[in-house]
A and B are shown apart, each in its own frame.
Chain A
């Protein structure tokens, strides 16, 4: 397109050109992202046999069976507890870790590497290692406790929900910290140093600087971390699957592990697709709500 042509275009034309240019890309993304969801939604409304062959509509039977299933509410509540605890714990731990790693001290590079290491290991391997460590008869955890004389009889850490679920949450936090710290570190290094200097000169102490400068400036990064971690942890499958498979008696099952059992162990593909749609809607609603709240906050500050 020649320069003359652009110049002679109307204001409206000029405004719509960029949209026209990205339109193919947008349509393409909608198709790539949207089609599987559309397909899934269609499947959740139909009768599906265990090998994925669909028959006609079945009056929301998949959904009514899902909502009336005795495990649904329990799994939903555990999923929320799991997500809130892991995401909350991760953020609470990651902020101070990022602040410390942002300071200049001897061995900082090494400390950064150590914090990042769990990220480099696949979640499945993490699960397997922890499962070994927590084995009541031959695990490293009990062996250590024996050595310090803190244990008389073996404890099977993963044998009851009372110990297994908090441990799963702990490991979940451990593996989510690296990503979160990285985002915060990126945020911290982008903060302008002059306003901190100014605050120091004005006599603001460390806590005041953290409370009134660091945290507000980190807000966008905090938002990013919360939304991404929420989605990621909510759908996180490998840790729980490897360590307990939702045992004992479904007491550590969250929605996504139950979803796997429904789909591939029980062949209830209709119910499983309905559950996927429900999970998708929950996450969509939460993300939109959160994005709106965050945007309103940002505008008001």
Chain B
């Protein structure tokens, strides 16, 4: 007891000495970075980056903090309101508009060189550019595609993956005819990205979420897109009661080999590698309706206007985070798409990844409008009302469109 006591006192003294040393050293700066949690690798990866940067800038320090995505927005809101915002934060790019409108995000144009900016893949840099000004750098990007279970499709007598929705319905019918507890097409009905699962259908039917500042979710294309999903539920081509399953639930069904086709992002490849290595699957484009489409999503690193160390924060981003070396490590560990041209070369011979990157030309992004979260929740409510049979597609979507138009004013 006594021994540990003295040891504790000694270590406290040592700690105090370090603190005094740190505060007396002149113009040493600390950059606080708040990140969203992607996987168990996130924290370690960024701490390595911080260490690398610290060694090149002795005296200065980068501090990494990783937070669950569910809590990130709440945490930043309270920090900003309390005047303790970090220097750099990861945010969903769709939140950026709110940060820019409230004068919280620092424009980056004066810090970045044209060469640095040109290193990014344009499609992923575009969502962080508002009114011609750059407010963030895309850290993680994904597009969506269709994963299909080769064995299940072969058993149902389908050897080529369907390329359009008629083919999806047809294939799902054949899988249903096999009996057993397998489902043709996975449909997500609750929590995060429930709306995105329907946008695949909406966009490929030629619809738009927002068109000329007005809601497009009650357009004939949108109604057709939702009617398709509803008819698949009613015909038993999806799992029963989709409103009981979130994204992880349907991904788990796919990993168990119980789903023929699922629409999701590149992260599922990594999960299958560890959770279901024997699963015989392949990746195909999102099925077409009248047109091709996929959902492009980026997360952004932004710098706060309130930060006293903006120069240093930008240096950390430009000299470490967005260098090919660290980008490749990041994309390998987290399983996202490359966002920089140099980095993309390292993944050029990965055929599964090209299934995603090939679709980038048709990628739609979440609209850059204020109140987007509230709008997407209105859409999710409409989808859930339809999936549970509480409302007809057209009526549910009209209600959501009314809400969106009200919020857009």
Contact = CB atoms under 8 A, between A and B. Distances in A.
A156 interface: yes
Interface string A223-265: 0000000000000000000001101111000000000010011
Contacts of B268: none
Contacts of A155: 241
Q: Is the interface of A mostly helix, strand, loop or mixed?
A: loop
A278 B111 CA distance: 48
A155 B240 CA distance: 8
A17 interface: no
Contacts of A125: none
Interface in B372-388: 373-374, 377, 380-382, 384-385, 387-388
Contacts of A156: 240-241, 243-245
A192 to B, nearest CB: 48
Contacts of A267: 77, 98, 371, 373
Interface string B179-223: 000000000011100000000000000000000000000000000
A51 B95 CA distance: 12
Contacts of A245: 190-191
A30 to B, nearest CB: 24
A159 B385 contact: no
Nearest to A52: B81
A51 B104 contact: yes
A136 B388 CA distance: 15
Interface in A124-142: 135-138
A206 B276 CA distance: 62
Contacts, number: 90
B193 to A, nearest CB: 13
B80 A266 contact: no
B253 A137 contact: yes
B80 A160 contact: no
A52 B249 contact: no
Interface string B156-180: 0000000000000000000000000
A250 B371 CA distance: 18
A91 B96 CA distance: 49
Interface residues on chain B, size class: 35 or more
A212 interface: no
A53 interface: yes
A153 interface: yes
B360 to A, nearest CB: 29
Contacts of A135: 244, 249
B384 A136 contact: no
B73 A159 contact: no
B102 A159 contact: no
Nearest to B387: A248
Contacts of B245: 136-137, 156, 159
Interface in A72-102: none
A266 B77 CA distance: 11
B26 interface: no
A50 interface: yes
Contacts of A144: none
B241 A261 contact: no
Contacts of B387: 248
Interface in A142-182: 153-160
B239 interface: yes
Contacts of B78: 52
B94 to A, nearest CB: 12
A249 B384 contact: yes
B206 to A, nearest CB: 26
Given A137-B249, A248-B385, 7 more contacts: A50-B98, A50-B102, A156-B245, A248-B243, A249-B381, A249-B390, A266-B371
21 contacts: A50-B102, A51-B80, A51-B102, A51-B104, A52-B82, A138-B252, A154-B240, A158-B244, A159-B243, A159-B388, A247-B190, A248-B190, A248-B381, A248-B387, A249-B384, A249-B385, A264-B74, A265-B374, A265-B377, A266-B377, A267-B77
10 closest cross-chain pairs (CB), A and B: A156-B244, A52-B81, A159-B244, A156-B241, A248-B384, A159-B241, A249-B384, A264-B74, A248-B243, A249-B381
